[in-house]
Structure 1
Amino acid sequence: MRIFKKIAFFIAILLAIVIIGGWVYYNSLKPNYEGSINLSSIENKTEVYFDDFGIPHIYAENQKDAVTTLGYVHAQERLWQMELMRRIAPGRLSEIFGKDMLKNDKFFVSLGIEEASEKSIEKLDKNGDVYKMATAYLNGVNQFIESGATPIEFTLIGIEKEQYQLKDIYNILGYMSFSFAMAHKTDPLLTSIKEKLGNDYLKELNINIDPNTTLIKNSKPEIESFENLVSNVQEIMDNSPIPPFVGSNSWVISANKTTTGKVLFANDPHIGYSQPSVWFEAHISTPDYEMYGYHMAGVPFPLLGHNRNYAWGLTMFENDDIDFYKEENHPEDNTKYKTPNGFEAYKTVTKTIKVKDEDTVTINVRNTRHGPIMNDVVEEISQTSPIAMSWVYTQFDGQVLDALHTISRATKMSDVKKGASMIHAPGLNIMYGDAIGNVAWWASGKLYKHKPQVNTKFILNGASGEDDPIEYLDFNQNPMAEKPKWDYVYSANNQPDTIANILYPGYYLPEDRAKRIVDLIEPKNNWDKEAIAKMINDVTSSTSPIIVKDILANIATNSFTKNEQEAFEILKKWDGSNTQKMIAPTIYNKLIYLYLKNTFEDELGEKLFNQLLNTHLMKRVIADHLKKTNSIWWDNLNTSNLKETKTAILSKSYKEAITALENQLGSEINTWNWGKVHTLEHAHPLGTVAALKEYFNVGPFSMKGAREVIDNRGYLYDNSGLYKITAGPSTRRIIDFSDIENSISILPTGQSGNPFSVHYKDQSEMYNNGEFRKMKLNKEEIINSSTKLIILPKNE
């Protein structure tokens, strides 16, 4: 008996040790929000106040100390996210995730981002502020790597922490630039459609710009290979553990249209959802500098920001900055390709990719005067003619980091304009407002012209030189508006008005959001912060009711069932709003999907149809195509003895939609709520493991919003009848220059990327409900609602 008691005693002791050890380990992984630490290269004591949402407010005696501290606190919240971000461009995801990421790595190492980063660093002034601040930030990050806790993700996957280098920052910005691009999803696809069906079908897809749509006003032959190219690049972007940028809204209203006589600024960039979310907020205050900024993981300067004097934000320009060229090999020597000046040798770069638990993979990437050959990294097109990708980002010296520094250290409006002019890729709309009444918008990006007959939406001829750019435009020819007489600027990724005597080609979104924004702003001259907050959460479509009206007018109603009649009446009365409890959006989205499927899939085939369905182009097609009575697309090629009409296709689609919803949601239409099928889950890369999903993912949630309303949500159309949200507002920011200390914002989940932090998901409920929190600037208020971490110089 005594032996059993001893055994029980020892087991209890062992269990207590395990519990205590686990508790100690758990707490060691949490971010450090109070106390004191010592950092090298800090000259003076620096104070960090973490407010009630975990936002760091850094008070330092100089900018170098502040940015070093920023690097440290950024790393303690987002080191895992930084690790993923820096691995994409150099093709290092397979190293930690295994062979499933090999396709991604092969593709990205071929783009030349690393080489462009190296060139930029070579030309960077090592005595300038950009270099000094960037290295200070890296110093802070690396000190956390040395002395801080190892994120749980590193332990679970089994990878070691590595010091960060300047090249990592440039590689991250290179990936960001590529994720903005749309040509890789569209150009090969349109070439396939052209080769398969011909121009009569293509011209009805609204490829060319409609001059009658809502424009942003200026105050100045191998079909399968192309299918495989677009499907593979789409798969690569879909599988990336870091979400792409997909759109955005912003508007800035001048003092003449506000109740306070001061500028109001709003911005909500649309980015793929993930956990952690994209932005890390940080407020820096020194004797000569103050900024409340939104940072990407691993980037020292904010991409969005404001202080007491000015604010800026971003949307995607959607300009065309990638072209694909079909090259021509030498008939007897495949190491050479044809140019206007004769045959030249490919320049070949050898890349090695480490693969977890597998042998290292070596690839040879051929480069032409246009860019890398995609056949070398997309296996499915390896037996066809060489297809090269020309991307503006790698054609010119990269100055994105310099531009962000210039914009975030501006003292006047012209400084922000100068920063915008330094960005040649990605194409961005830089939105601006300030405390002295200025509002402005500049489209950044290196724009260029081709000969009139060249359509850059298709694969171009690489051998002749006839399809090469003939002119690069100066920045002063870019779309822009400064202090416009109409008293506001806005962007919703829609087409800008004429520049350089052309409507500049791009991959612009339909006018839906733009029209709604203009319709709301234009007639109203008493805007205040509360009205802007309501507007940025607006879920009403200005075009969906028009589309519904056209569809209902062309549906045969003589044989309706009870539910078909009831659904018809619901759609007829719908005002275009998309809240969780509404029924109409559920019917509308199913109907639109089936209309598209029944109209386009018979000609395109399943593969091309699904590719087209996931492009901006298809969003633009809907409203325009539904106006056509005699479209070539209405006929179903699978019914050879019958020629379908618009009425036949829409009637068939409507009946199928109601039947599908009855099967999915039951026979009671009043239970077909939008929130049942329209949901959001913020996915962490480790959330794909079932046992870890509960701890790392956030959600799912029933959501308001929809495609192309101001509260924009991205989701795919398919047979499931479920609309799982993939993208949407990555933050909602409203800056009121009449009350700057009470400007407001929100993040989709939380400030921290550490699952053990109380700030991992503490904003998600507020975000889902369209609520806000302060972006605090008042030091006294900050101190009274914060914990305090003191950073002391380390004796070296």
Structure 2
Amino acid sequence: MSQVMKWLLRLAGGAVLLAVLVLSGAYFLLSRSLPDYDARLSVSGLNAPVEIVRNNANVPHIFGTTDPDTFFGLGYAHAQDRLWQMMMMRRTVQGRLSEVFGARTLNIDKVLRRFDLYTLARQSVEVQDEATLAALRAYSAGVNARLAEINASALGRGAPEQFLFNAPIAPWQPADSIALVKLMAVQLSSHLENEVLFARSSLALEDAARLDDIMPLAPGSGIAALPGYASLFPTESWRRVARAEPAPKDPLSPFHKRAFAGASNAFAAAPARSASGGTLMANDPHLGFSAPGIWYLARLELRSGGVIGGTIPGIPVVLTGRSARLGWGVTSSYMDDQDLFIEELNPANPSEYRTPDGFKPFRTSRSIIQIKDEAPVTLTLRWSDNGPILPGTHYDLAEVTPAGHVAALSWTALSAQDTTMTGAMALMRAQSVDQGIEAGRLFVAPSQNLTLVDQEVIALKTIGAMPRRDARHESQGRMPSRGWLPENRWQGMLAYAANPEFIAPQGGILGNTNNKVVDRPFPLHMSFLWGDTQRVHRWRRLMQNREVHTRDSFIEAQLDTVSFTARSLLPLIGADLWFTGEAATEDTPERLRQRALTLLAEWNGEMNEHLPEPLIYAAWMRALQDRLIRDDLGPLAHEFDHPDPVFIERVFRDADGASAWCDVKQSSPIETCTDIARMALDDALIWISERYGTSLESLRWGDAHQATHDHQVLGEVPLLRYFVNIRQSTSGGDNTLLRGRTRGGDGPDAFQNVHGAGYRGVYDFADPDSSVFVIATGQSGHFLSRHYDDLSQLWRRGEYIPMSLDEGLARAAAVGITTLTPAAP
């Protein structure tokens, strides 16, 4: 027996030793790719030495003798910290993810190949000005210098992920950076999906009048009645296809539902409204969360002066930030820059489509997608005059495309003359609001609202190409239209002067929360779809509550968690529920409902992570909308996976008969809106009880509203996910200025925080060195680095780090200086 025990102990000891050796070996290999920030390196492509001075937050301050040398340093720094992220974004826009991940990502590759964005990016290189071309070439050389260093020094393949997914890395090129800007346009454009959903809803609803309820216009706007979609294409049986089940989404996909297309806050104060006497500005662009986050902080020393702020690895510009004289911030404009066209095929020759001048052959080419461990797939790409042809398998197009027709997409991002990169470079060099607005003339896509402040003036200008449409357009771009009718087709682009602008407003305050900025009649309108109808009310109140503002009051507004939506909807929905009915005994559904209503009655609408009321409110609104629309829309109700405050308000105010949604069609009784509100609250409380228990007072919103900064590739790997995912209890919600967009739907993790401010910056031009900023994760994309998540707790707590262009301060706080010197010829 003792011999058996000895052998068992030896085997156990051996297993432990083997595990230690394996883990040690893995750590050694993975840690080889951790950058050395205090080094001296001889590289090719430089004219003079470049210094990359990193502070304790790992923010690089890059000092070069010339602008191209500075951009070289930025390329090197990006590749040091975010190489894997850069390569994955490049593969995404090229449609080459399947070479690494197999058939799982084939559908993503198919869509991107049909857009052909990378070809358009290569063609756009030629239209950039000389200074931009020099910057792009130098940036590419900096990235490639890091790749050469990795190869020469065996630095662990450059990133830990490369050991699991051995993806060959091609040298970086100027077209790659332009292509990533186009990938941003994919993530920030939502009109395509919205047009399809509008058409599907039109087909699914028996009462056409109800379409204005479920897909409402932003309050205050008006439009003439539109035809039903079936009347445009009356030959197809639509009712069946309009009720299809939703398709799953891949974490690697850059395509988001319309509600996730982009949301941000930017606001500014003129000197007369600033306590310090200088202009103030705040910006927090919102994108989907990931680890690492999309944003990377950097400071560049250019001939025109220093610039500092948020960059995106792979793109050599400060997209939001400031110089000594100018601050700029971006918010999604929601400009209607996409239109779907239904093209009629020639019955005698499907390779032709109808045009105003008769049938015409498609322009075609072939594209081969290589798939890991599987045979390659060959796509036949087709284009009409209106744009690329998208098959019915994409974007649910099969459900709105009649037999004998195909769908084509017109989109401003599908330009081979895209000067957006040149515009962004000019914006960094601008010294005044006027120069910043002039730089905006060169932006094509994605369209943004550009907020600008200089020493004296504040302004907001919508940048990006705006399509010119005919006033006779049959759907006004709200849903797909017939591509062969000349009045439906785009007629070029409007002049830049037509883009909305607000310069030096009389009240001294301006801002944007993705709300409607202008109310112009079609076709000079900007959009029928806006990203916000709620946050703007809270922002307006916070701005008007003070005669003058400070940096701290702007920070307070950025971090505000009071929901205007909750404060306006709850009294309306619960009007006949509060303090009514008989006293109920404990441990009954009635008593649980009364306790929930009592909590909500005393709540001020603050979506604080430590409070129970936000969870009760959010669960109630989710259940309420589901009960209102499920019987009318069937499976299509899955597409409306976030409560729409305007829809719910229309229903409970019975706007134009909208209370009809409250009656359940399949039941004999006629339900009232009060009945539905009560049943929905009971649904919500049952869900909460099953997941969190019946002690409502001890609920925490933050337990459900966890920010999910997940690694897009490794985030689902068992055990490893605990090292690469960053999860945090957070405040805020779908409609608060501190926006924490929830996942949505009816799953167990519906209230996870998946979309919000990955970057925050606040600048005071009376004391520029007091400006502050923060990103949501950390600077490094290497999960073994201490800088992978070192800023995440500051971000969660609403804290910031200083933002200074003072070279002396940067060097005084340096924790590492990388010196790049030109290699000997």
For 1:719 and 1:165, the matched residues in 2 are separated by 44
SS at match of 1:343: strand
In the alignment, what sits opposite 1:362? 378
Q: State yes or no: 1:122 paired with 2:126.
A: yes
- 8 Å CA contact 2:364–2:380 kept in 1: the answer is yes
For 1:549 and 1:675, the matched residues in 2 are separated by 24
In the alignment, what sits opposite 1:537? 559
SS at match of 1:360: strand
The residue type equivalent to 2:781 in the other structure is G
- 8 Å CA contact 1:423–1:444 kept in 2: the answer is yes
In the alignment, what sits opposite 1:432? 452
Change (3 A) 1:13 1:386: closer
Q: How many residues align?
A: 773
In the alignment, what sits opposite 2:801? 773
Q: State yes or no: 1:199 paired with 2:208.
A: yes
Residues 291-690 of structure 1 aligned to structure 2 (within 5 Å): 291-375=307-391, 378=394, 384=403, 385-395=405-415, 397-434=417-454, 436-447=455-466, 448-452=468-472, 453-469=474-490, 472-499=493-520, 503-555=525-577, 557-558=580-581, 561-606=590-635, 608-613=636-641, 618-628=644-654, 630-631=657-658, 633-684=660-711, 685-690=713-718
From 253, 257, 268, give the equivalent of 1:239: 253
For 1:716 and 1:11, the matched residues in 2 are separated by 42
Change (3 A) 1:438 1:380: closer
- 8 Å CA contact 2:565–2:645 kept in 1: the answer is no
The residue type equivalent to 1:602 in the other structure is D
- 8 Å CA contact 1:191–1:226 kept in 2: the answer is no
In the alignment, what sits opposite 1:736? 764
SS at match of 2:171: coil
- Per the normalisation by structure 2, the TM-score is 0.89
For 1:69 and 1:260, the matched residues in 2 are separated by 35
The residue type equivalent to 2:565 in the other structure is T
- 8 Å CA contact 1:206–1:624 kept in 2: the answer is no
In the alignment, what sits opposite 2:4? none
| Displacement of 1:429 | 0.4
Change (3 A) 1:108 1:633: farther
SS at match of 1:335: strand
- 8 Å CA contact 1:599–1:649 kept in 2: the answer is yes
Structure 1, residues 296-340: CA drift from partner, whole Å, max 9, x if none? Answer: 121111211212111101100011111111111112111111111
SS at match of 1:329: strand
Q: State yes or no: 1:179 paired with 2:187.
A: yes
For 1:254 and 1:431, the matched residues in 2 are separated by 12
From 709, 714, 732, give the equivalent of 2:736: 709
Change (3 A) 1:242 1:168: farther
- 8 Å CA contact 2:198–2:215 kept in 1: the answer is no
For 1:52 and 1:429, the matched residues in 2 are separated by 33
Q: State yes or no: 1:161 paired with 2:169.
A: yes
SS at match of 2:297: strand
Q: Percent identity?
A: 23
- 8 Å CA contact 2:305–2:324 kept in 1: the answer is no
- 8 Å CA contact 1:209–1:503 kept in 2: the answer is no
- 8 Å CA contact 1:189–1:230 kept in 2: the answer is no
The residue type equivalent to 2:741 in the other structure is G
Change (3 A) 1:333 1:229: farther
Change (3 A) 1:286 1:116: closer
For 1:17 and 1:180, the matched residues in 2 are separated by 46
For 1:102 and 1:13, the matched residues in 2 are separated by 42
- 8 Å CA contact 2:196–2:396 kept in 1: the answer is no
Change (3 A) 1:22 1:320: closer
| Displacement of 1:619 | 4.9
- 8 Å CA contact 1:225–1:380 kept in 2: the answer is no
- Per the normalisation by structure 1, the TM-score is 0.92
Change (3 A) 1:270 1:296: same
In the alignment, what sits opposite 1:763? 791
In the alignment, what sits opposite 1:216? none
**Structure 2 stretches of 5 or more lacking a match?**
1-13, 223-229, 231-235, 585-589
- 8 Å CA contact 1:228–1:381 kept in 2: the answer is no
Q: State yes or no: 1:37 paired with 2:65.
A: no
In the alignment, what sits opposite 1:793? 822
SS at match of 1:661: helix
- 8 Å CA contact 1:510–1:620 kept in 2: the answer is no
| Displacement of 1:242 | 10
Change (3 A) 1:230 1:130: farther
Change (3 A) 1:229 1:506: farther
Q: State yes or no: 1:50 paired with 2:54.
A: yes
| Displacement of 1:99 | 0.5
For 1:13 and 1:585, the matched residues in 2 are separated by 50
- 8 Å CA contact 2:444–2:463 kept in 1: the answer is yes
SS at match of 2:456: coil
The residue type equivalent to 1:578 in the other structure is M
- 8 Å CA contact 1:84–1:242 kept in 2: the answer is no
Q: Quote the RMSD (CA, aligned, Å).
A: 2.8
For 2:243 and 2:448, the matched residues in 1 are separated by 29
SS at match of 1:334: strand
| Displacement of 1:124 | 3.5
Change (3 A) 1:782 1:226: farther
Change (3 A) 1:738 1:15: same
- 8 Å CA contact 2:127–2:418 kept in 1: the answer is no
The residue type equivalent to 2:461 in the other structure is W
Structure 1, residues 595-639: CA drift from partner, whole Å, max 9, x if none? Answer: 101101111012x1111235xx93542333332274254244443
| Displacement of 1:279 | 1.1
In the alignment, what sits opposite 1:136? 138
The residue type equivalent to 2:558 in the other structure is I
